[in-house]
Amino acid sequence: MVTPKALITDRQTGKQKEKSQGEFRTKKEAQLAAIEEESKISHFGFAEER
């Protein structure tokens, strides 16, 4: 899944930077989702999309 990006302005340098806007509300939520996906990969294997 593609993570949307937002442009923010660095207050110190005045330059624009990209900031990731993840779909998970907490770090724990993201970690649990990662564990679930890793479990699927180890059980079913990894398939590359072309």
Strand-strand pairing, 5-9 and 16-20: antiparallel
Helix, strand or coil, per DSSP, at residue 8: strand
Q: Which of 21, 17, 18 is nearest to 3 (CA)?
A: 21
The CA dihedral of 29, 34, 35, 36, to the nearest 10 degrees, is 90
Q: What is the pLDDT of residues 1-50, one digit of tens each?
A: 455 567 888 888 888 888 776 788 889 999 999 999 999 888 888 777 76
pLDDT of residue 1: 46
Q: Distance (Å, rounded) from C-alpha 26 to C-alpha 33? A: 11
Q: Which long-range contacts (CB under 8 A, 24 or more apart) does 30-38 make?
A: none
